[in-house]
Amino acid sequence: MPHVLFSPYLLDGLTLRNRAIRAGCFEGMSSGGLASPELIEHHRALAAGGIAMTTVAYCGVSGDGRAFSTELWMRDEALPGLQKLTAAVHDEGAAASIQLVHCGFFAGPRVIGTRPLGASVKYCAFRNSRCREMTARDIEEKAAAFVSAAVMARKAGFDAVEVHAGHGYLLSQFLSPWTNRRRDDFGGSPENRRRFPCLVIGRMREALGPVFPILVKMNVSDGFNGGISMEDAVGNARAFEAAGASALVPSIGFTARTPFAMLRGRVPVFEMAANEKNPFTRLSLILFGKALVRRYPFTRMFLMEAARRVRDAVNIPVAYIGGAVSLADMEQALSEGFAFVQIGRATIRDSGFVNGLRDGSLTESDCDHCNRCVAAMDGGGVWCVSEKLGLMP
């Protein structure tokens, strides 16, 4: 019996060759905010490895939206490298998406050279900084930056964009009651908190036209009391659909508080500290890392119940992400009505993972969820550390 995973799918005018999409996994390969040869090769290899669409992770829509100097930043100077990247991916028969995002209060002050922006004034322990509350003018400027970045992404040859409205970044900071204490039209009620993200999606849809894939990554929960609830998430999903989203990617976690809620598995505190360039953050990780960074044991399909709630709330395609590490896991998600599956660490472990599932040489990933690859992102680029150290078969 043929597997659904390897069947094509039409997403808002884009034909995907199968249902496996590489999730946005910060690569740490964009020194100066530009696509490096290493970044291009990373995504070319993923395309050659059978993925239907690869997602270039974390592209800042403006220079003040970055946490690290190795994050992409969308501007004219970035176009030549990104055009080489999309051409390389297309040559291997895959599609390319790019994750558009602004860090908000989690931005690195030393990286951006100024005080970070946020939905409301908030102290960030990871950055030892306090952001300033965005004005109405700031909101307009950042909405325009998202739209400009999306238009430039299409010019660079990308087949889709993924708006990052989860994980505690700027759009998520407006959605979350924990970071949004505003008293104007952009704060207070759930409807007001989602106004800015919906403004971004709506204007992006107007600029890109009616047939161009706009995926939205969103939280089903921030991972702590006082953050986004499941009820908030259902309302957000419906609002994103109404604003013009093509598909949704339900996720979980808040970078400044619960960064491993999405990843699950080991927390490589000391490896993260070793690669941290900010001396304050490095010392904080060494002294308080185990207390600051909560651990979540890995379990298969750990977001299924919450993802079902989002799937049932909307009429647009919904991706499944979270603990799908085998062919059987992915087939389960697709059999339940999810349009496609996003996978991350399995493809860091083996860029040819999807081809392996297709030809039968693999039935599941042997990634051990050590998360050393997360620490490696800040130390020269993401790679499977366990493999390089000979710790895995």
**Kindly report the CA angle at 20 between 17 and 22, in degrees rounded to 5?**
115
* Residues in contact with 333: Cβ distance below 8 Å, sequence separation at least 6, in sequence order: 301, 304, 320, 324, 341
- The yes-or-no answer on residue 320 being catalytic is no
User: How many Å apart are CA 133 and CA 143, to the nearest integer?
Assistant: 15
Separation CA 375–CA 35 (nearest Å)? 20
Sequential DSSP letters for 211-265: SS-EEEEEEEE-SSTTS--HHHHHHHHHHHHHHT-SEEEEEE--TTT-TTTTT-B
Residue with tokens 């602004």, as numbered in its chain:
102
CA distance 46 to 44: 5
Question: By CB neighbour count within 10 A (0-12 exposed, 13-18 middle, 19+ buried), where does 31 fall?
Answer: middle
User: Which 8-state DSSP code applies to residue 115?
Assistant: P
**Which tokens hold the place of 291?**
């207390």
Number of H helices and number of E strands within the chain?
16, 15
- Residue 129 in tokens: 């900084």
Q: Which residue has the tokens 């051409």?
A: 87
- Quick one: DSSP state of residue 65? G
Q: What is the CA radius of gyration of the chain?
A: 19
Catalytic residue of the set 9, 58, 123, 169: 169
What is the rounded distance in angstroms from the CA atom of residue 128 to the CA atom of residue 155?
37
Q: Is 389 exposed, middle or buried (0-12, 13-18, 19+ CB in 10 A)?
A: exposed
What's the CA angle centered on 208, arms 340 and 91, to 5 degrees?
55
* CB count in 10 Å sphere of residue 137: 8
The catalytic residue positions are 169
